[in-house]
Structure formats: structure tokens, C-alpha cells
Amino acid sequence: MASLQNYPGSRLLESLGPYTTLNVDQLNFVAAQFFALGLAALYRTVFRPEKVSPSIRHAFGLLFGLWMGYFCFGYHAVHLAGLPAVCYLVILTQNPQVVHGAVLFVAMLYLSCVHLHRQCFADSSYGLDISGPLMVITQKVSSLAFSLHDGLVKRERDMTPSQKLYAIKKVPSLLEFFSYSMMFPSLMAGPVIFYNDYIAFIEGGMCAGTKKPPLDAKRVILRDPSPARAVFRKVCAAVVCALVFVLFLPTFPISKIKEGPFVDDTSLGYKLWYLTAATAVVRAKYYFAWCLADAACNNAGLGFSGYSPDGTPLWDRFSNVDIVGFECGTSLKESIDSWNKGTNRWLRFLVYDRVSSRATLLTFALSAIWHGFYPGYYLTFLGGALFTFASRTVRRRVRDHFAASRESKLFYDTSTFVATRLVMAYVTYPFVLLEFWPSVVLYNKLGWFLHGVAAALVAFGPRLIPKYEDAGRKNEIAMVLRRAGPYSDAVGRID
């Protein structure tokens, strides 16, 4: 186990290291998240909105967020307050016309400096780093600034539905701003929550857009339903993912793909199979952290989205990840939409829904810079943009040709499921490896073949693949797709 001599966080749990496979930084992260999970229940019950004032709820969430930050990061936790403090000064001093761009620039500059310091100077012996929570805080303060710009500058008729929903008409107080930025349930691993949703949670208001309970529900529906079932399910999922990571990482280390025997002496099929397995094991680490964070938020009362048809409360309004949606997605879009869902919402709110051209490229660019400056990130995001365009071409030009029957639709979905798994492993391994030349060396051995296929689809697909134009069969196809049930996501989009 690494000595972690330069780790600035608490060493209270260091003696437990020999009994686990975890270093003290990893133990601190796990302990902090389970502490947040238990504290969230106290927050939801003892400090519920009917019993205490919003100021007390703000202060409670902020104080324990600061404590968790200090426990995990020591004196580095000053950045958790430093980034929002600088951005709050920008909000107070800048014209509402430009405040959104100014806050995004300052927050990204601050975060980028931390990323670069970690990349160039930090001790690589420990994996827990202050940049993780700062990435979440950057999302919060920038989305707040954009909402403030919308509320103070834009006319309502010029706003999209999401901009109307999240528009802010006045600058938050100091306590509101900092408690929103550093609330303990979502501090360490998200998910990002927009400011108006956070205020509704603090003040006890029902979240906008939640579904009412069905009138014929057999059980008694409470206004404040218990999140126990959702919390238990997500904690179990987190534990399973942690076991997968711990048990299979020694068998499928990502570092193996840099070794000469793997690069030079294995077949193309084995390389692709190993990349698929190794990247899946790494994803389990993210699933663990995100599911546990989701559980903490739900246990605090965050994330209620309404009721299912049988009256079961749903707790998926704010979520980091949809594991089944990612692992079983039949298209690149489905998988991307299911991965880091809070970040997808943030990118859509800030970029994708606001620009008229090159929205996809600009969205990938902001996402790449937000992640940091390791070369592997940029190989993945550049490849991701290319494969996204190629995937759109296939969906628009090919899918409808297979929609004539349930069997052909199933064949199409099965084929795209396999292709999506292959592409995900192929395009994301540099993101995990981080290094440029080892990633490029392996791509050279693979012949960049999937990049070539994607580029050909983008360049020649619209010209060579005829679009399905049989208008007379649209209703028939729609009926087939509806009968296909879970095999189809195209109902209502035949045109």
C-alpha cells in the first residue's frame, strides 16, 4: 500500500488500512459518504422544513459540507470555499448582461489551475483529490449565474422551458449561495442540483414537474414519502459495484494495455475484448461513488420525482447515473445520456440549448476542459464527437429500414447494442489511461479502424444510404414499434 506521505486529509482511519485493500484517502472518502448518508436521515427528519427555519437548514448543510471537505482534504479544503467566494464577488460586481459568461470563465479558470497543479506537481500516490468536489461546485455556481442572467435580462418569451423553470430574479444571500455550493449530500460526487430546486428542497416545496399519485393507488400516499426503498436499492448497487471493482481490477488492470506483449503479441479480437472488460471494471468505481451520493441525496429528501402508476414513490429527479441505461443502451446517445446525468443536464443548460451552431462540438469542448488537461481526455472527447455524428447518421438513415417488423427491429437493436459496447470501450480507454502516447500506440495497432468507419459514415453516409421515405407505411411502422415495446425508442419520431 502507498505511504501517502503528502496526503493532507485526516489519518484517523489509517490503522484500518491493513484490514482492507484501501489507502487512507479511499477510506476517508467511503467513510465520509456513509457519514453523509446517515446524517442525511437526521437532516430529513429532525431538521425538516416544518420544524426549523430555512436559515438553519442552510447552515446545517453548509457546516457539515465544510467538515467533510476538511476531513477528506485537510487544508486543501480552502478551495471548496475559495472558488464560490471568487464567483460570488463576480456576481455582485458584474452587469447581469455578462455575469453568466464571467462566472463561467472565472470558475473554469480556477478549476483549470487546480487541474494543472494536480497534473504537474501533485503526489500521484493518492487518488482522492480536491478537483472532484470543485468540479461539482463549478457546475453549481455557473448554472446559478446562467439562471440569474436569464431571470434578470431575458424576456420570458425568449426563454426555453428549462430556462423559465430555473430563472432567478434576485441574487442569493451569502448563506444561500455558500450552502448551495457546499451542501454535504452532493459535495463529494454530485449530482449537480440547480439552484431553484435546492431552494424548493430547503423551504419544503414540492419539486416542479413531479407527478401526482394515482387516484386508484391501493396504498396511502404521503406528501413526504419515505425514500427508504430507493436508498436501500442504491446502497446495494454501490456495494455490488465496489465488489466488482475490487475483485476484478487485479485481473483486468488498465495499465496492461501499455505493455509490449499486449500491444504487439495479441490479436485484434483479444485487444477489443480486453478493452471492453477493463473499462467496464473501471466504470464500477464511478458507479460506486455515484450511487452512494445519490442515496445520500435521497435520504436527505432530495430527488423525489412523483409516483409510479401503482403508487410507488420515485426518487430519480436528480441522479448521477442510470447503470442499466448505460450498460444496455442500444445507441451511443442512450449510453451517453445515462452516464453522469447531472453533468449532461449542466452541459445542455449552459451550451447545447443556447447555441445555434456547432452545439455538439462546443458541448464536448466544455466537457473536456471541465474534466482537466490529461491528453487521454481529449482523445476520448474528440473521438466521442466523431462517433456521435456517425451514430446520428446511422439512426437517421438506417434505423427505419429495419422497422418493418418486430424481428428486424430486434435485429437492428441487437446489432447496435453490440456496436455501442465496442465503440464505448474503443473510445473511452484513453480517458481511463490518461496518457497520450500509449493510447496512440494502441490505436496504431488497432489501425484506427473504428475512427475510419465513423468518418466514412459522416462523410458519405448521407449520400450513399437512402433515407426511408415510404410515407404510406408510417402508421404501420408506428404500430409495429409500439408492439415492440422495450425494443423501440422511436415511437412518435417516425418522421
What are the catalytic residues?
A: 340, 371
Distance, CA of 395 to CA of 323 (rounded, Å): 23
Q: Residue 352 contacts by C-beta under 8 Å, 6 or more apart in sequence? A: 359, 360, 362, 363
SS3 annotation, the chain = CCCCCCCCCCCCCHHHHHHCCCCHHHHHHHHHHHHHHHHHHHHHHCCCCCCCCHHHHHHHHHHHHHHHHHHHHHHHHHHHHHHHHHHHHHHHHCCCCCHHHHHHHHHHHHHHHHHHHHHHCCCCCCCCCCHHHHHHHHHHHHHHHHHHHHHHHCCHHHCCHHHHHHCCCCCCCHHHHHHHHHCHHHCCCCCCCCHHHHHHHHHCCCCCCCCCCCCCCCCCCCCCCCCHHHHHHHHHHHHHHHHHHHHHCCCCCHHHHHCHHHHHHCCHHHHHHHHHHHHHHHHHHHHHHHHHHHHHHHHHCCCCCEECCCCCEECCCCCCCCHHHHHCCCCHHHHHHHCCHHHHHHHHHHHHCCCCCCHHHHHHHHHHHHHCCCHHHHHHHHHHHHHHHHHHHHHHHCHHHHCCCHHHHHHHHHHHHHHHHHHHHHHHHHHHHCCHHHHHHHHHHHCCHHHHHHHHHHHHHHHHCCCCCCHHHHHHHHHHHHHHHHHCCCCCCCC
